[in-house]
Chain A
């Protein structure tokens, strides 16, 4: 054995390293940006292996001339395009204000989706409003596109007395059954098999609604994602698996999820799932891809995995400082531009928009967010007294309160009287008296 070992060359472990770190120049020349409109659009019933080029290509509609090109152009009317732009502008205004609110101490945490607005707004607009979505944590654009009231979002972010999730969840982990929006977990990729299960249930019942899920490229490494792909494939589930490849998972670049070897859309092919790779900063391409996948799912032709190639322009969250691990030049030089600017320029190019209206819209968004924020603050901000009654901490663990939680609730009430004897009225455990 020893002899054999000495004759063999030493093995070397490859540890991925991104092309640039803080202070380094950025080189994006290896990113292939094909001509808009150059990609074929197969029929929605096409077999996955007959369209596998699309898992390595990049579906693009909006060209450098700001016009829509090729077979993937969803040919949306100007009113729809303006609505789409309006939602994306609102997401951006909302993110700005909430980020600032966290810095002002109004809440513990926030996550922006700057640069990724199209991947949630435009794609969800291609679904029916009652199609079920299982998002990750950066899809606030879906809620805004579906008309979820901003005040509900802010109440949740502030964890205040108006938060319909009773202050239980980390900020931005929304839930709205009314908007067919699943409760966000925070554990990564767990939503992907859940979306498949929902889609299977819909198919079992002969329903017509489909499911869609969103997951970051980094969390496609989780076993849950692979379980989701397997189940989606095995049962031909009417589900869309949206992978947001924004290049960064906190400080780990996409290479740690396998991006040095292949595309994320190509993951689909091994499962026999249709795979599409899309310019995630091109709102029309995002819409068109989701629409294609929705048509396919609705016609019982099976699941689709869509990779949205995009860039996380800001930090992972308010707890993150990306200047510690990546070059600030990346955002400046990102070859696919900014999704809001591109859609705006398209509307201007087709004569349906202008800078004045854009400025007025941005101002109106900012004003609405500001006004709603003030309204939400009447329900309190995190850590400043206005929260749900103590007893709600023990509710909904089970449908009914078992004896051991009842005992613990009584203890919490006793502790409160000792900790804050003057601030709160006496609360009888079980009755959930208000503040």
Chain B
């Protein structure tokens, strides 16, 4: 399965261009603002300035101040008004400047957006996409580095999407915006500009050298709930998403491990078929994420693999994660689940 195999590319999507993830996200927003007059982009610093990571650069000038605008510094208010806008019939795309800042808005997400369709028996829905940069590796300290995805996967009624390439970022974001359910769209900010491999002491390659930076212009979608086969292999399965897809890929390459790597893309709904098929093929499963370990999404994945593939497993499921500490500033690379931690886990799982 190639990156493009399961996507829906419209006729207007053409031309080989190479762009980074920020540009891909900007294009997705631009495309949707142009296609759907009900799409609204809002958040702290997203208007005139174009966002602290530049994801919304130029959008206000192009689409106008009532379509793309700055908000007060109130995540509760941002998500709360987005619920009301959705009830009106708009399709808001609020940005939370860092995933670490999302907690003041979490009641509006969990108790309101996620439950509105259910509690009103479809009278009202919350078709919002909450974009937010997440993850570490940028010396962001404990308030600009967290990976809180598991909190959202635990909530019934929310979808959680995490792209790992520019191509996916654009196609998944367009799908998320068109989705009638609330979607948490976490953008791995460490790979906004290039596919970071975890070898922090090596120069970072820009996206332009990566095939997945070839992004069509215009509108195309990647369906939510479908994993991406990063590479095929026989020795073990790697389940990863976001930045860690590239780290795992690099480690497998360096160690010469014939890994079957799945980029999950969407945590809820999860592509359980792809996971089962891969683990039943390899008999070994390594789960990698950057978030803290206890009650992380790795635990859910591990349980699902054990429940569904137990008799195919040749070794216990292994997990590689961040440590259960706040994200430390100066010791970032000691914290990060990089090549050493992943390499050891691969050795262990292959030895059994």
Interface residues of A (CB under 8 A from B): 132, 134, 164-166, 168-169, 173, 175-177, 182-183, 185, 187, 190, 192-205, 211, 223-224, 227-228, 230-231, 234, 396-399, 402-404
Question: Which residues of chain A come closer than 8 Å to B270, judged between CB atoms?
Answer: 404
Question: Which residues of chain A come closer than 8 Å to B92, judged between CB atoms?
Answer: 197
Question: Which residues of chain A come closer than 8 Å to B111, judged between CB atoms?
Answer: 185, 187, 190
A234 vs B65: C-alpha distance when bound (angstroms): 14
> Which of A195, A204, A223, A397 has the most CB atoms of chain B within a 10 A radius of its CB?
A204
Contact A193 to B81, CB < 8 A, known contacts A231-B74, A404-B270: yes
Residue of A whose beta carbon sits closest to that of B80: A193
Chain B residues 67-117 with CB under 8 Å of chain A are 67, 71-72, 74, 76-77, 80-90, 92, 104, 107-108, 111-112, 116-117
A131 to chain B, nearest CB (A): 12
- Taking a contact as CB atoms under 8 Å apart, the answer to whether A223 and B121 are in contact is no
- Taking a contact as CB atoms under 8 Å apart, the answer to whether A403 and B269 are in contact is yes
- Taking a contact as CB atoms under 8 Å apart, the answer to whether A190 and B108 are in contact is yes
Chain B residues 110-166 with CB under 8 Å of chain A are 111-112, 116-125, 156-157, 159
Question: Which residues of chain B come closer than 8 Å to A175, judged between CB atoms?
Answer: 119-121, 123-124
Contact A168 to B121, CB < 8 A, known contacts A182-B87, A185-B111, A399-B181: yes
A199 to chain B, nearest CB (A): 7
- Taking a contact as CB atoms under 8 Å apart, the answer to whether A190 and B87 are in contact is no
Question: Which residues of chain A come closer than 8 Å to B89, judged between CB atoms?
Answer: 201
A195 vs B72: C-alpha distance when bound (angstroms): 16
A174 to chain B, nearest CB (A): 10
A200 vs B78: C-alpha distance when bound (angstroms): 12
B40 contacts chain A at the CB level, 8 A cutoff:
yes
Question: Which residues of chain A come closer than 8 Å to B122, judged between CB atoms?
Answer: 396
Question: Which residues of chain B come closer than 8 Å to A205, judged between CB atoms?
Answer: 88
B206 contacts chain A at the CB level, 8 A cutoff:
no
A194 vs B125: C-alpha distance when bound (angstroms): 12
B66 contacts chain A at the CB level, 8 A cutoff:
yes
Question: Which residues of chain B come closer than 8 Å to A397, judged between CB atoms?
Answer: 117-118, 156-157
Q: Of the candidates A168, A173, A231, A398, which one forms a contact with B157 in the assembled complex, judged by CB atoms under 8 Å apart?
A: A398
A201 vs B40: C-alpha distance when bound (angstroms): 9
Question: Which residues of chain A come closer than 8 Å to B121, judged between CB atoms?
Answer: 164-166, 168, 175, 396
B225 contacts chain A at the CB level, 8 A cutoff:
yes
- Taking a contact as CB atoms under 8 Å apart, the answer to whether B72 and A234 are in contact is yes
Chain B residues 174-232 with CB under 8 Å of chain A are 179-181, 225
B349 contacts chain A at the CB level, 8 A cutoff:
no
A432 to chain B, nearest CB (A): 13
Contact A399 to B119, CB < 8 A, known contacts A192-B80, A197-B81: no
- Taking a contact as CB atoms under 8 Å apart, the answer to whether A398 and B159 are in contact is yes
The 9 A-B residue pairs whose C-beta atoms are closest, nearest first, are A197-B84, A193-B80, A197-B81, A227-B77, A201-B88, A194-B84, A183-B120, A198-B84, A402-B269
Contact A197 to B181, CB < 8 A, known contacts A166-B121, A187-B107, A397-B118: no
Interface residues of B (CB under 8 A from A): 40, 66-67, 71-72, 74, 76-77, 80-90, 92, 104, 107-108, 111-112, 116-125, 156-157, 159, 179-181, 225, 268-270, 272
- Taking a contact as CB atoms under 8 Å apart, the answer to whether A195 and B84 are in contact is yes
A211 vs B88: C-alpha distance when bound (angstroms): 10
Residue of B whose beta carbon sits closest to that of A170: B119
B42 to chain A, nearest CB (A): 9
B192 to chain A, nearest CB (A): 29
- Taking a contact as CB atoms under 8 Å apart, the answer to whether A404 and B269 are in contact is yes
- Taking a contact as CB atoms under 8 Å apart, the answer to whether A194 and B272 are in contact is no
B92 to chain A, nearest CB (A): 8
A165 vs B121: C-alpha distance when bound (angstroms): 5
9 residue pairs from A and B, CB less than 8 Å apart: A166-B121, A185-B111, A197-B80, A197-B83, A199-B84, A224-B77, A227-B74, A398-B117, A399-B117
Contact A398 to B181, CB < 8 A, known contacts A194-B87, A204-B66, A230-B74: yes
Question: Which residues of chain A come closer than 8 Å to B72, judged between CB atoms?
Answer: 227, 230-231, 234
A234 vs B78: C-alpha distance when bound (angstroms): 13
A176 vs B87: C-alpha distance when bound (angstroms): 12
Question: Which residues of chain B come closer than 8 Å to A193, judged between CB atoms?
Answer: 76-77, 80-81, 83-84, 108
B96 to chain A, nearest CB (A): 14
Question: Which residues of chain B come closer than 8 Å to A194, judged between CB atoms?
Answer: 80-81, 83-84, 87, 112
